Amino acid sequence: MPKPLSSAALVVYAFAIALGLGVTATLSAVEGDPPFGALSVGPWVGWPQVGSRTADPYARAIAARRAELPLAVGEGLALRATQDSAGQALDSRCAYRIGAVTPQARLWTLTVYDGAGRLRTSDLERSGYTSGEILREPDGRFWLSVGPSARPGNWLKTPATERFSLILRLYDTPVAATSSALNAEALPKIERLDCEA
Amino acid sequence: MSDPGRAPGDLQIADPDAPAPAGPTMPKAAAFAAPAAARQTSAEAAPAPPVGAEPASAAPAPEAKPKRGRGAPPAEQPSLEERLQRRVPVVGHAMSERARFLLATLCGLVLAVAVHIVMVLAMPRLATQDAFSRLRGTMEAETAVLIAGTGRAETWIPLPDPASAVAACAYDLTEGPVRISARTGPLVQSISFHNRGGGVFYAVTDRAAVRGQLELVVMTRRQYEEALAAEEQDAPSRDVRVVAPRREGFMVVRAVAPSPSLRPQAEEAVRAVGCIAEGEGGMAEPTPPTPPTPAPPAAPPVAAPPPAAGPPAARPAPAQTPPRPGQPAPR
């Protein structure tokens, strides 16, 4: 008969599980985006609660780890897109057309970040547009091209990394307080046009 | 948690025939099963792992007590087969082998959940690279310190907005409230207050400014009540009082430049925001115009003979008590 497992071995085993799984789960949980409270509208995702009193423990842990200064609910709302309106991941080799409306805000900015969340490395190249400088259609709508090669009108160059993300920041917007009022119609669409091989 | 743990232990103890010899393994199983005592068990078990059964059963495990009375003496251990035969349900044996392992796994999982929860909750407090820790150096500063300029300036903020300038100053309300004063301009500007460890408890934009001036005083609940008590009714303070849930935190001011040419202005605007610690009591200005006060407060509380109508009402009562001969007990 095999010797029964000693209690010590079992205790060590249990603690190994506890530490191993506990630490792994924590690190993986705080690595990505906050697991709760995501506001997802079309391709855009935001975490308005992170900037409020009621931020959940995961959001706080993530903010602490990243040294984030989230936009408060009264300040504005930041929405991030890592995929286009069709659900495909944003690809630097492809051209996109973004437009044409944004929710009501005193000022908005739309910025391109590379796969690691960095801005463009050269100051000569634009990283983003603000509502104050974007060229608009006569009816007030706007169209922004994001792609590897230059296009007429509003154009942002895609970063060098394969993946990239866009962040739309709505400053001083009434939307933040009632984020349930956000719908896909009110936010810019991200249409994929063509891709370079 | 207690149920699964209980089962094996009960089963064995409830089995009166089970001869003491169970000694070597049983107490261990019982001890291990003791769910809440998992930690102690490890402490007991760890020091003497190789010796195994005898010491463990002899000395600690309170669970093993009923058994020990009968079971400790017999030194020779019946083989597993013997025990198997005597033991009525075969399950009992299965429990003691596989179930112990499963139980250990289960305990491990439960503890893993506990470890996870504790880690997540502790992370904001223990973080050394979070926003508050990085801003600690700004606590003495009298104006907000620029932490993210416009454009692609170097900053530790993740995903910075090139159109906005961000400045911040940390505060500690132990010494007294902190006054934030901002002069608003044409730019979109906002101020938010963050707790140490996460959570924004107040935010305001430049739209709330009165005549281009935004005066905010961050204070603890206690300081707020003191300020209210010290306030003159005729001259209410114009400050916006913000009650901070915690003593430590930081203020963040943002200004957004709609076009690149306004970016220097945005940086200047956020740098100019003052955050000045106010000393004890906080309300420095309302105190000078005290003269008009004596009359109203003197009436209700100061019924005492000494006409020392001290300016502040209720507080000086103890000081007045000594001259009163008739009442030895002040209260």
pLDDT score, position B59: 43
What number is the average pLDDT over the span A75-103? 89
Contact B251, B215 (CB under 8 A): no
Cβ distance of A133 and B259 shorter than 8 Å: yes
Q: Is the pLDDT of residue A113 over 50?
A: yes
Q: How far apart are CA A119 and CA B153, in angstroms?
A: 10
ipTM for the predicted complex comes to 0.85
Average pLDDT rounded to a whole number, residues B131-143: 86
- Please check the confidence at residue A196 and state whether its pLDDT lies above 60: yes
Residue A158 identity: T
Q: Cβ B168–A172 below 8 Å, yes or no?
A: no
pLDDT tens, residue by residue, B269-314:
999 999 888 865 444 444 444 344 344 443 344 334 444 443 443 3
Is A61 an interface residue toward B (CB < 8 Å)?
Answer: yes
Percent of chain B at pLDDT above 70? 55
| Residues of B in Cβ contact (< 8 Å) with A79 | none
pLDDT class of A21 with cuts at 50, 70, 90: very high
d(CA A45, CA B190): 23
pLDDT category of residue A99 using cuts at 50, 70 and 90: confident
| Residue pairs between chains A and B whose CB atoms are closer than 8 Å | 231
pTM of the predicted model as reported, rounded to 2 decimal places: 0.69
The average confidence (pLDDT) of chain A is 85
pLDDT of residue A41: 85
Longest dimension (CA), chain B: 98
Closest residue, chain B, to A59 (C-alpha): B198
**pLDDT value at residue B24:** 44
Of residues B89 and B7, the one with the higher pLDDT is: B89
Task: Name chain A contacts of B22, Cβ cutoff 8 Å.
Answer: none
Residues of B in contact with A157 (CB under 8 A): none
pLDDT at B189: 92
A103-130 in b/e burial notation, b at 16+ Cβ within 10 A? Answer: bebbbbbbbbbbeeeebbeeeeebbbbb
Instruction: Please indicate whether, in this complex, the C-beta atoms of B162 and A127 are within 8 angstroms of each other.
Output: yes
A56 touches chain B (CB under 8 A): no
CB contact under 8 A, B96 and A4: yes
Please, which pLDDT band fits residue A180 given cuts at 50, 70 and 90? low
